[in-house]
Chain A
Amino acid sequence: MGPDAARELHRRRTTMNTVTDQGIAARRKVHLTLRVNGEEIEVSFAPYKTLLEVLREDIGLTGTKHGCELGECGACAVLVDGEPLLSCLALAVEFEGRSIETVEGLARGTELHPLQAAFADHGGSQCGYCTSGFLMTAKALLDREPEPSRERIREALSGNICRCTGYQQIFESVEEAARVLNTLNTKRAGS
C-alpha cells in the first residue's frame, strides 16, 4: 500500500470533511453486519470510519494496532478473505459480507496458533505492538506457502515495520511455526 493509496484515503476523508461541514448527513451512522473471525457482528458506525477504527472502537477488538494510520507500518494488517489488508486504509462500509480475520481469532480456544506460540517462544515479539500485524501477514504467507524460504519470509513481511527485534527472531519464529504446522498437517494427513 503506497502513497497513492494514502492520497486516495486522504481525498476521501477530505471529501467527508466537506460533507460534515455542510451538514450532519455523514455523521449519521450506518448499520451493517461484518463477519469477523467467523462471527457475524452487527455494528453501527459513522461511515467515514476506517476498518481499523471500527474494529478497535466500535467492535472492541483492540488487538489490531495503528502505528501511522497512513499505510506505512503494517501494524494494522488484518486478513480479508485470506489476504493481508492494511485496515487503516480501508473504509469499513466496504467490507460487508467479506471474511475478516484479526489476531483475536488466531487461537483455538485457549490453544495458541503455532505462529503465536513461536513468536512468544522465539523472541518474535518484544514490545508486542507490531506483533498482530506480523502474525496476520505471516499467516497469509503460510496459508499459501507452507515452506517458505527465508527470502520469501523477508519479502512477505517487508510491509511490516518492527523497531524492537531487528526482524531476525521474527524470521526464526515464522520458520518454527512453519515446521510445527507442517508436522501437524502430516500427522492429520496420516491419521
Chain B
Amino acid sequence: MSTKKKLEVVGKARRRVDGRGKVTGQARFADDLSLPRMLHAKLLRSTHPHAVIESIDVSRAQSYPGVHLVLTGKDFPIPFGIMPVSQDEYPLAPERVRYVGDPVAAVIARDEKTAEEALDLIAVKYRPLPTIASPEEGLAHPEPRIHDYGEQGNIHRNQSYEFGDVEEALAKSDHVFEDLFFFEGNTHLAMEQQASLATIEGDGKLLLSSSAQNPHYLHRQLSRVLQIPVPQIRVIACQNGGGFGGKCDPAGHEFVVCKAALMLGRPVKICLTRQEVFYVHRGRHPVLMKYRTGVTKDGKLTAIHLQTLLDGGAYGSHGPASIFYTGVLTPVTYELPRFKFEACRVFTNKPACGPKRGHGTPQGRFGQEVQMDKIAEKLRLDPAEMRLAMVTKPNSLTASWLKIGSTGLAECIRQVVDRSGWKQKHRKLPEGRGVGLACSAYMCGAGVAIYWNKMPHSGVQLLLDRSGQVTVMCGATEIGQGSDDVLAAIVAEVLGISTGDIRCLTGDTGLTPIDLGSYSSRVTLMMGNAAVQAAGRVRELIVTAAAEQLETLPERIVLSQGRVFDTADSGKSMSFVEAVVLAEAKFGTLGAVGSYAPGKPPGKFKGANVGPSPAYTFSACVVETEVDERTGLIHIPKIWIAHDIGQAINAVHARGQVIGGVYMGLGEALMEEQAFRRLPPKLSSALVHRIPSMLEYKSITSMDMPEVEVMLIEDPDPNCPFGAKEAGQGPLLPVMPAVANAIYDAVGVRIDEVPITPDKVLRALELKRAGKNPRVGPEYFPDVPYPEPMFVLPPGEGGDGNEIKDPARKPARKRSEVAAS
C-alpha cells in the first residue's frame, strides 16, 4: 500500500462474518444438507484387527427391500492416501483388513435404518492374522507385515538426522540429562460427526459436499480413485463442526458416496456415527521419547539427542510428516548448538494416527519442557530465568537450518511470570499446591505442499461491481477457527470498508482459487498474504480512478471507513461506491487475483523441507495446581498464557483461539486418551477402542475448565499479513508440560507421561513415601534400528546446509579450494 493509515479493522473486536449464521442455526453443515431422491449409505466395518477377507456374500443385502446398491472392495481397485508416499488405503478394503473399523462394504438404501438393517445381512468370511498392538510388538515381530511397503518389517518410516557432532558435545557438557517420556494418543472429538453428500449436478458433473478441512487434496484424491478428470468433480467443504486435524485425510466414506452417486444417478448421503468417528481417528500419535540433553553448569544447552518412536496405527495417513514433527521444531525455542533427531513410525493394527492440533509437536515438546524443569531444579536455577537466558534470537538460524524470523518468546515468558506471580509462588506455595511453567513454538504453515509443485499455496480472487459489492473467493476452509473472518478483515482493511460489506465464498473447488487447506496453521499467513495482494491490486485501480476524478495524486488518496479521499484536502472526497463506479467505467469489470507461496528454506539436505515456515509463533504458559494427596485428584484453579501472535486480526476471536487451545491441551494433559484393549481370545483377541463414546472418552467440561488469562504479544512479523501470525495450534503446546511441572512443584512427583491421571499421581506419591524415585513414566526405550544419521553441519560450524557425506564429517571443499591445494 502506498499510503499508511492506522488499522481500522484488523485487531479490533468484531462479530465474525459467519457469526450470525451460527447462532441462528442457519449455518449449513454437511449433514444438514438434503436433496430430492436422496439415498443413505452405511458402512460395514471389520470386526477383526488383522485378517484376510476370504469372501464377502452381499446377495441377501442386495435383495433386501429398499436397498439400491451394495459396494465392496472390488468396486475400488485404486488406493488412496493423503500423501503421495502413503497411498496405502482403500475406500473399502479389498482383501485385507488392518484394524477393527476398517470399512469392508457399503449399503446404499432408501433410509439409514434400511441400510443399517441390510448391513447385518452381509456375510464376511475372515481369516484372522496375528496382530500388532504396539510399536514395541511391531519391532519385535517383523512378520506378518501389516503392509508390504515401508522400511522393513512393520516399520513404516525410519529416519535420522544429526546437526553437528552431538556425542562430542554431550561428552564436553557439564551435565547430561537422560529422560524417557510417553505421550498417549488422543483424538480430535470434533462435535460434528463427519458427513458427506454426493450428487450429480445438472451439468452432469460430480459434486461432493463434505466435512473436510482440505478440499483441494480431497479433490485430487477423488479424481485418482474414481478415475474421473479433476475438472469433472467439484468439492465443497461445508461449514465444519470443528476439525482439529480430524478432517484432513480423505476418508473411505467420501469415495463411497461419490461412487454410489455416479452409479445410481441419485444423491447419496452418509453421516458417521460417533463410534465410527472414534475408529476413523487420524489423531495424536502415541509417542515414546528419549531425550539426552547436555547443559553447561549455568544451564545453557549444548546438545540434544532425541529419539522418538511413534505408534502409527494401521495406515500411512500423514505419518511421513508426523514423524518429522515429533522433533523438527525442537531447536526453535532455545539456542541449541547441536541436535540429533532419530524417529521411527511403526504400523500397528489400530486406527491410523495422523494430524491433531499441533501435529506431532506436542509430544516432543512435552518431553523437552518437562526435562527443562528437571534441569533447572538440578542446577538450582529458576526455570523461567534459565529459559529466558537462552531464547532463540530473531532472524537467526537453528542448528538444523530453520530460519527464525520474529520472536516474542522472551516477552511471553516475562508476561506470564509477571501476571501469575510466579516469583512469589514457585517452590514457595504450601505442600499440595504448585505452579509450573513451559514454553513452545509453532509454525505458520508448512514450507512445502503435501504434493510436490511450484505453484502458490493460496490464491484469492476479488470481484467488485458498480453497487460496491465486494466478493472475495478463496479455497480456504472454515473449520470454526475464523478463516472467513480473517479473509474479510484483510480485504476490508486494504479497501477501507467494513467486513459487513464483504461476501466471502470459500472452500469450493468449483468456484474458488486453490488454497491448500486448513492445516499446519497456514491459513492466516498464506491466505492472508494472497488477500493482501489481491486487495492491493484492486485498490490501485480504485485509487487511480478516484485520483483522476478528484484531480489529485494517487499517492495522496486514502481509503478509509467507506470513503475515498485526498489526505491533503478533505474537501476532495467521494464514497467507496462512487470510486468503484469510476474504476469500473475506466478499467472495465473490476477484479484481481493474489497468490502466495513461501520462500525457499535455507537447508539443502534431503528432508530440509519439513519444519521451515515463513514465521514461527511462541507461547509461554504458567499453570497453577492443587493436588489432593489422598485421592490424587488434580485441580487447576488458573492458567496464564502469553502468545506471540504478531498481530491479532480479530481481538475477540484471537483470544478465543488461545483459550480453546489451552482447553484442548489441558484435556490432553489430564484425561483424554485414545486407548485400546484386547478382547479375550475367543473373541479373536481383537484390539478394540477402550472408550468409543463421548461419555467415556473424558474431556474437560464447563465444570472443570479453569479461568484462563490470555496475553497476546503483538509485534508484527514482516512476512505476515499486517504482521499476523497463527493462534490455532501454538497455544495448546506448552499446556501439557506446564501441568506436569506444576504437579511436581505441588507434591514433588514426576509424571513423565500424559494423561496425568489421579492413579498415576497416587502411585508416584507411594513411591515417594517409600523413599523411591517418585516418578511414574516409561522405564524402557526399545532397541530401534535407526539408520545412520544424515550429517549436516550447523550454520555456526561452517556448514552450507548440505548433507556431509565425508566420513570425517568435514564440509566438502569448494572447487576453488581444491584447485588451490
Q: A residues near B, CB below 8 A?
A: 3, 6, 17, 20-21, 46, 48, 56-57, 60-70, 72-73, 75, 102-104, 106-107, 112, 115-117, 119-132, 135, 153-155, 157-158, 160-171
Contact = CB atoms under 8 A, between A and B. Distances in A.
Interface in B686-725: 693-695, 699-703, 705, 707-708
B701 A129 contact: no
B705 A166 contact: yes
Given A65-B29, A69-B274, A128 B699 contact: no
A16 to B, nearest CB: 9
A123 B360 CA distance: 28
B191 A163 contact: yes
Contacts of A119: 19, 22-23
Interface in B24-43: 24-29, 31-32, 34
A8 B691 CA distance: 20
B479 A165 contact: no
17 contacts: A6-B695, A48-B113, A62-B29, A63-B24, A65-B191, A65-B241, A67-B274, A68-B693, A103-B24, A126-B480, A127-B240, A128-B21, A164-B480, A166-B664, A167-B700, A167-B705, A169-B656
Interface of B: 15-16, 18-29, 31-32, 34, 113, 117, 188-193, 239-244, 273-274, 479-482, 652-653, 655-656, 659-664, 693-695, 699-703, 705, 707-708
A164 B242 CA distance: 7
B23 A135 contact: yes
A3 B705 CA distance: 23
Contacts of A160: 702
B731 to A, nearest CB: 10
Contact of A123 (B240, B479, B652): B652
A3 B659 CA distance: 30
Interface of chain A, helix or strand or loop or mixed? loop
Contact of A129 (B19, B241, B663, B664): B241
A128 B693 contact: no
B192 A170 contact: no
B19 A63 contact: no
A1 to B, nearest CB: 10
A129 B25 contact: no
Given A154-B702, A161-B701, 17 more contacts: A62-B29, A64-B25, A73-B191, A116-B24, A123-B656, A126-B242, A127-B479, A129-B480, A130-B241, A132-B25, A157-B702, A158-B702, A161-B699, A164-B656, A165-B663, A166-B708, A167-B663
A168 B703 contact: no
Contacts of A116: 23-24
A103 to B, nearest CB: 4
B24 A104 contact: yes
A168 B707 contact: yes
A75 to B, nearest CB: 6
Contact of B482 (A20, A75, A121, A126): A126
Most buried by A among B21, B31, B192: B192
Given A112-B24, A166-B660, A167-B705, A129 B242 contact: yes
A159 to B, nearest CB: 8
B19 A121 contact: yes
Contact of B242 (A56, A102, A121, A127): A127
A190 B192 CA distance: 44
B117 to A, nearest CB: 7
A107 B24 CA distance: 7
A53 to B, nearest CB: 9
Contacts of A20: 113, 117
A126 B25 contact: no
A58 to B, nearest CB: 11
A163 B242 contact: yes
Contacts of B113: 20, 46, 48
A106 B24 contact: yes
Contacts of B703: 154-155, 158
A61 B25 contact: yes
A86 B625 CA distance: 34
B29 A168 contact: no
Nearest to B27: A128
A63 B693 CA distance: 23
Contacts of B34: 57, 60
Contact of A120 (B15, B241, B479): B15
Nearest to B666: A166
Nearest to B244: A163
Contacts of B694: 67-68, 70, 72-73, 161
B29 A129 contact: yes
Contacts of A164: 191, 242, 480, 656, 660
Contacts of B193: 66-67
A167 B705 CA distance: 7
A151 B532 CA distance: 44
B23 A125 contact: yes
A120 B22 contact: yes
A75 B29 CA distance: 13
B239 A127 contact: yes
Most buried by A among B28, B191, B694: B191
Nearest to B243: A127
Contacts of B707: 168
A102 B26 CA distance: 12
B20 A112 contact: yes
A59 B191 CA distance: 23
Contacts of A168: 659, 705, 707-708
Given A168-B705, A170-B702, A121 B274 contact: no
A112 to B, nearest CB: 7
